[in-house]
A = this chain, B = another copy of it.
Amino acid sequence: MKGAEALIKTARDAGIDVLFANPGTTEMPVVNALDAVGGMRAILGLQENVVTGAADGYARMTGVPALTLLHLGPGFANGIANLHNARRARTPIVNLIGEHATWHDTPDSPLASDIESLAHPVSGWVGRSTSAEGMPSDLATAVAESQRGAGCIATLILPHDLQIAEGATPAPLVPPHARAVVSGDAVDRARAAIERGDALIFLGNAGVSEAGLKAAGRIAAATDAALMSQMSNARSERGAGLPALTRLPYFPERALAALAPYRTIVLAGAISPVTFFGWPGYASSLVPEGTAVETLAGPDDDVVGALEALAEALGAGPYAPPPTPEKAAVPSGPLVDEGLSATLAALQPEGAIIINEAVTSGWGYHAQSMAAPRFSELQITGGAIGCGPPLALGAALACPDRPVIALQADGSALYTPQALWSQAREGAHVVTLICSNRRYRILQMEMERAGLNQPGPEAGGLTDLARPPVDWPALARGFGVPAETVDTTEALADALGRGLAGEGPYLIEALLA
């Protein structure tokens, strides 16, 4: 068996049956092995940031490591930004990168580059196969490494000559590293902090899974502890039947105000809160002066086990779902940010997967969607814009029976519009809701914060997307996705209905007033 075939067979044995890919010549043996081995579905992305972002969305929803296939250093480089997001999301991803043959080691070959140097900043593990026989066990190691902690990125480099060499056999799987069980001491300290009063349980990662939230809800019901989640979550379970959490705000003064009431912040799957940028006048840490921090469980620990142990230690009763608040009415009138997100929150169907990459236009959505029927929400986690369209593709492939709705900033979507083509190709049921404000509004807000209320022509031009306006329906149709533009909340509601009633992808440009 060829090295590439034994590698794909090993991946199949590990339960991996989807490959996100944009291959080139150096990956052709792996591509051919897909047909030789069978049982692995290949999803083509027209650009590698679509490939890696879709892998991220897929693995966030399945929990199974997602496999990518990328072409040498430059092909990998195109996918780094969404791997950066995936790294922050702690998504298990295994990247396969084809490399020149071991003997073709001239630095003058056009595509030669230092792949390891590119891979390290986004990878928890980087390996390079040195024999065809070793390639399958290298893959088994990569799969195990991708499951370290809550999940991480493992990158395996595959020289072309080793992919085609004969003599390899599939390798046994490597058991994944067990998540660190939280010590009784940590539970005791968290219990004491909560019993002292005015504690906040700050949740992230598995803390915002269904099991994590139910354990946290038991604690909140039995004590005066409050619940809040990180600003950005890879996947949060939300809506009716689950505790309603506040979320840490973006700007530092609001974040500090939100955290100010608490005597102790108990970390449960979250990291200690830090600012997004180094804003002048604010420290990097968002922990208010006089507030203590207790780590119940770090992001990579057994967060759910820790929260359940804490609930028991506090004598909490069984989980009781909160009363469902009355559903908000569908708003009406001109389309502004709040109306846009309120319309979505009012109409999203049970079981929806919401992709949220609308930083400014989607600010209201978190609070508005408290009363929505049960849903999953996937956010941008690493600040590298352009994750939304590929995340939506990956989530739809992972959960073909659930509608996916992308609440999507226009400037960010313009990083990866090619994902629409893959959505069309795969018949993915994704409704993309473009928040079309035709500007990089977050930058305009940052300029105002910096005291620049009248930006000059160059600064103004660099945040302006209206010259020319992007014709979103044309762009979407170019990639094979039907689309329309709306400019009132009523029309948005109608369009959402059309998109959700279909089976494939649909795009709605919500032209903001």
Contact = CB atoms under 8 A, between A and B. Distances in A.
A290 interface: no
A161 interface: yes
Contacts of A100: 277-278
Interface string A256-288: 000000000000000110111110100011000
Given A32-B456, A382-B110, A467-B425, A44 B461 contact: yes
Given A44-B462, A455-B35, A25 B478 contact: no
A179 interface: no
A424 interface: yes
A110 B74 contact: no
Interface in A47-101: 47, 49, 72-75, 77-78, 80-81, 84-85, 88, 100-101
B74 A84 contact: yes
Contact of A458 (B40, B278, B457, B476): B40
A345 interface: no
Contact of A113 (B29, B84, B471): B84
Contact of A121 (B73, B103, B473, B475): B73
A333 interface: no
B110 A117 contact: no
Given A74-B384, A120-B117, A24 B443 contact: yes
B468 A478 contact: no
A319 interface: no
A243 interface: no
A253 interface: no
A228 to B, nearest CB: 17
Interface string A461-505: 110010111111111111110000000000000000000000000
Contacts of A84: 73-74, 77, 113
Given A421-B468, A459-B31, A480-B468, A74 B80 contact: yes
Interface in A377-423: 381-384, 386, 411, 414-415, 417-418, 421
B459 A421 contact: no
A468 B425 contact: yes
Nearest to A31: B459
Given A41-B458, A415-B46, A480-B468, A278 B104 contact: yes
Interface of A: 21, 23-26, 28-29, 31-32, 34-36, 40-42, 44, 46-47, 49, 72-75, 77-78, 80-81, 84-85, 88, 100-101, 103-106, 108-111, 113-115, 117-118, 120-122, 160-161, 164, 232, 271-272, 274-278, 280, 284-285, 381-384, 386, 411, 414-415, 417-418, 421, 424-425, 442-443, 446-447, 450, 452, 455-459, 461-462, 465, 467-480
8 contacts: A32-B447, A46-B411, A78-B80, A101-B278, A414-B418, A472-B478, A474-B474, A478-B478
